[in-house]
Structure 1
Amino acid sequence: MKLGKLTKLTAAATLTAMASMPAAGVEVARSVFGTLPDGRAVPSVTLTNRHGVAVTVIGWGAAIQSLVMPDRNGHRADVALGYAALKDYLGHPQYFGATVGRFANRIAGARFTLDGNAYQVPVNDGPNSLHGGTAGFDKQLWTVVDTAGGASGHVTLRHVSVDGEQGYPGTLTVDATYTLGEDDRLTIEYRATTDRPTIVNVTNHSYWNLGGEGSTPGAMGHLVTIAADSYLPTNATAIPTGEVRPVAGTAFDFRTPHAVGERVRDATDQQLVFGRGYDHNWIVGRTVTADEHLMARAVDPASGRGFELWSNQPGLQFYSGNFLDGTSAGKAKRIYRGGDAIVFEPQIFPDTPNQPAFGLARLAPGEVYRNVMTYRLSWGAAR
């Protein structure tokens, strides 16, 4: 970065920001984000690298509360939607940055059968169950079990979901590990084990506005690429119909970059009418893989901020923030409205427990569930 190409104000701001960054390695800072009504403290852990990237993870919902990164001119901004205070996470839950499960996305009719036994889970999205129910993983206090700094820094949080929690069988122990490297990669890894057969689909639900979470243009100008030739159309309640539909010739074709807002309001596409925009699962693969593969890219042309998203999952839920309804004010004190952010959720396919053609959601004792996703952050400047 050549300071001579910046204004004096920008240069001063950049130098101030750089002064607060670690000289080398990723630093870890722990604090308390707030206190729950029952007196339990909610931990907060911030990982910061020397390029000015800083991610803060809180124990409530094992959520990303903020992600600060520079733009092409060195201006740092928080690009993750969220709240400044715990009371807002409790009073106006929106899945901001949260870990969602035990089964992310939707289960049709809020019921499923496993090993011949029928299970009922909470109805919280029309006739269906969404993101684990009314008190899913996003509404649980996770425990910080490990932190470390160095060439990369990480924090691991744990939640033990007891047998019968939200109607799901088996006691499930889930670890969420957030790792930030000096290579500007932010990795989220979920691992889970169970003491009896159950279903599992855990993912992260961060809302991204790469211009800054309080910036007025929102995210509809973001250029998005999705590495998928097909997607899963849904019925009017957002449950996949079972059809696998090619993206070619449709508003769902992101194989080359498109601005999100370019086609999101196409009223001639019934799928966009059903979802009030994009809220669908793209088929990147057919099975969970050992290694990560490219899922998507997103770039904000104005700031240069962007990322590639890699994961080992077969499906990618892409959501264009359609249901942000002006009832929540974020960290910049700006009301969040539809289109102010986009969400990418690597996962197995929605309603898999009820649709055998989609594969398996079953986890048995002795097995390890694993969902890993990596954001390769960039900001259009040589470093």
Structure 2
Amino acid sequence: MQKVELIATATFGLESVVAEEVKALGYNQVQVENGRVNFTADISAIARANLWLRTADRVRLKIGEFKATTFDELFEKTKALPWSDWITEDATFPVEGKSVKSTLYSVPDCQAIVKKAVVESLKKTYKTDWFEEKGPLYKIEVALHKDMATLTIDTSGPGLHKRGYRGLIGTAPLKETMAAAMIILSRWKPDRVFMDPFCGSGTLPIEAALIGQNIAPGMNREFVCESWPAIPKTVWREARAETHDLARYDQKLEIIGTDVDDEILKIARRNAEEAGVDDQIHFQRMDVRDIRTKRKYGYLICNPPYGERLGEWKQVSRLYGEMGKTFAAMDTWSFYIITSDEQFEEHFGRQASKKRKLYNGNIKVDYYQFFGPKPPRPSVVAPTE
């Protein structure tokens, strides 16, 4: 089967998580760079990566990479790439771009040069001087970094965080991809209780349910490359059939989402229903200070308020202190908390076992991880003589 080079783009700090996901799909020719994970695979990987990657932003098809310090060089090397292997005669092919630490710093000029080069390349194949661009979408990107130009085509369309279940969101939504990453980094397992005391529109509990039942995050949405003739329809049929075959719908989960806002909880319930996991999540109105549980060895994973607005820091630091007092009674639980407050540990009253720098949108945050004790192993009764 045809080999392709793909790039799974990633939020800063999540590259290693995306790389592990790519390897879990069976693709081992993986190279990790800032903001991206490169891998080589057969053409079916385009469908499977889009359907299964929980933490990547999107999947790009790499057409070529080369050094370019002049516009002539950019034009000629772009023109020489095999664009007609993918782009049809009736295709719509806009060009976007970015340039970092490169001689060719004018992004609009680079976009125009690449567009012209692609047109010239396609003219030779299709023997025409005019392209109406009314057919399938092939969004090209020229990315220049330290004079290296990478030419790709986006295969995803809307970002992979758009799972299709979140029609309604709260005021400060957590991206689905970041929520999934928080859960994966926690090493939560489906046989352990999961709680989010700031669940908002339900993103963390829903992502936990999808992970717990091994439901592909892209199962219920479409991707722009599904209309590309170069990808056989059988590839998509087989990839989608695999998502149904591997889902564990009979896996019982104990997932709890609480919040103080009744209206946002209504949205959370609708989102969970849309995702098909509403029977696995119990949503309840509750203040974080009232959290109590008789369950042991659970995982509490949350995205509490950050206090980014002026004047909110005192209120938020007080909240973190109350969280610390409340969670102290849950001494066999593990806690995973994301916030931009660099003094969080001081306010919480406890030093994290581990913390990891991430970005939630444009906000620099830390992911504080407090490891609880491991549950005791079941005792093994020795056989009698």
TM-score higher than 0.5: no
Which of the pair has the greater relative contact order for Cα pairs under 8 Å at 6+ separation? 1
The structure with more strand, counted as a fraction of residues? 1
Rg: which structure is higher?
Answer: 2
Could you say which TM-score interval applies, normalised by the shorter chain?
Answer: under 0.3
